[in-house]
Structure 1
Amino acid sequence: MTDYLETPQGRRIAYDQTPGTGPGVVFLGGFRSDKEGTKAVYLEDWARRQGRAFLRFDYSGHGSSSGAFEDGAIGDWAEDAISAIGALTEGPQILVGSSMGGWISLLVAKAMPEAVAAIVGIAAAPDFTEDGFWASMTREEVEAMTETGRIERPSEYGEPLVVTQRLIEEGRTQLVLRDPLVLPMPVRLLQGTADEDVDVSVALKLLTHAEAGDMHLRLVKGADHRFSTPDCLALIEAAVDEVSARV
């Protein structure tokens, strides 16, 4: 059953929580995704079967949480994650971050490393506002954003993708691949070679950039960005099991 958390910033965050033993698992969704996605629900079912604590939630402006998506930015959503983890969990957690959630998991690890037992990144997309959105903008798009504060791009996931000037500018304050990134916890990265949203090069860059003693990258030939086929879901479960054994 969905409950709600009021954050210190005044945002109302929708969440579903499964009680159980630790280390608990927290699912961090992607850009414009919500807590009802295939991977989040699959892991919740796994957690119930294992008797493990599990938390999935919607960032502000996503799903059933308060706020408008277009008003949000990476720092806001990282604050939401930090608030949810701080208020709703006990002890170090295993963060499973999908796409943008992979970036959020790294920001959480920087802000509260004592609360992070391990990280599993699924098509992790650190710094995508700068290296993806901004880097690919045409001159016309840059001019339109300067004039209106936003642009719209077609999206295969439904409604047009709105990219705001605030998302880009605030995102520059949250970048993790420009400065040292120390990850003292086990980290597992899963990446599909057919991912058209996050290139394999992003996973390789994160792997080489991070200072980590226990960090592995698994490439899955033919897997796309959703990473939600039965085989891919089994790989996510296996990664969570693997880091669980190490913490």
Structure 2
Amino acid sequence: ALEQAMKDLGRSYTRFDYLGHGQSTGLFTDGTISRWTDDALAVLDECTAGPQVVVGSSMGGWIGLRMALLRPDRIAGFVGIAAAPDFTARMKKDLPPEGHADLERQGYWEEPSEYSDEPYIITKKLLDDGQRNFVMTGPIDITCPVHLLQGMKDDSVPWETALDIQKALVTDNVVVSLIKNGDHRLSETEDLNRLVLATERICSQIEYS
């Protein structure tokens, strides 16, 4: 939906699947935040030119913030959809005793997924690597415009996370949109419209800055 909207507005648009996701090759269980950030930076460096607005959902929100920190000369704006920085800390804290036991015994735990019949595989490698990518441990030194979209009925990312991110961001140019009946995916028509408007608003700011 966002790709089509941006094309209709005459803007270029790049999207991709991380290692082990969607149409990309590789195993999801081989992925870490560091590896997926490297994927994103490779696409940024090799497939795009000029200032970019990064749009990231959930885990992609964490990776988008990392991109803005690592490529401040390229990232001119950021839109987060239920952005979930440092989520591996909460994931580790919420693991049941059998989850911790499985991590130590076999290196992963199979968590039942609410979105699929297939379990969600949480690896020890993912949790250990996550700590090296934390961004919520102090001020987030990002100075570009930011818009955060967050559903208040999100059962994966607490809605207060969006407020915590805006407090941590160095930039004052932050808009937080809390959607009272919004869930984690924010894929209803009105939610997609909000996403398009938020993205175009930031694009316009960059053009006239």
- Of 80, 85, 109, 1:151 maps to 109
SS at 1:170 equivalent:
helix
Larger proportion of helix: 2
CA shift for structure 1 position 140: 2.3
Structure 2 unaligned segments of length 5 or more: list them.
none
State the partner residue of 1:69.
28
State the partner residue of 1:80.
39
State the partner residue of 2:92.
134
Could you report, residue by residue, the CA deviation over 1:17-74 in whole angstroms, capped at 9, with x for unpaired residues?
Answer: xxxxxxxxxxxxxxxxxxxxxxxxx011112211110001011111121210011111
CA shift for structure 1 position 241: 1.4
SS at 1:151 equivalent:
strand
State the partner residue of 2:13.
54
> More relative contact order in 1 or in 2 (CA 8 Å, sep 6+)?
2
- Answering whether residue 135 of structure 2 is matched by residue 185 of structure 1, we say no
SS at 2:133 equivalent:
coil
Segments of 4+ in structure 1 off by > 6 A? Answer: none
- Of 153, 160, 173, 2:132 maps to 173
SS at 2:109 equivalent:
strand
Counterpart Cα distance in 1 of 2:120 and 2:188: 24
Q: Let me know the Cα RMSD of the aligned residues.
A: 0.9
- Of 224, 229, 240, 2:188 maps to 229
Q: What letter matches 2:101 in structure 1? A: E
SS at 1:233 equivalent:
helix
Larger proportion of strand: 1
Counterpart Cα distance in 1 of 2:75 and 2:66: 11
- Answering whether residue 3 of structure 2 is matched by residue 44 of structure 1, we say yes
CA shift for structure 1 position 242: 1.1
CA shift for structure 1 position 94: 0.5
SS at 1:155 equivalent:
coil
State the partner residue of 1:100.
59
SS at 2:104 equivalent:
helix
CA shift for structure 1 position 240: 0.8
CA shift for structure 1 position 149: 0.3
Counterpart Cα distance in 2 of 1:142 and 1:202: 25
Instruction: Report the identity percentage.
Output: 39
- TM-score, normalisation: structure 1: 0.81
SS at 2:14 equivalent:
strand
Could you report, residue by residue, the CA deviation over 1:116-147 in whole angstroms, capped at 9, with x for unpaired residues?
Answer: 0100000000000112x101012221122111
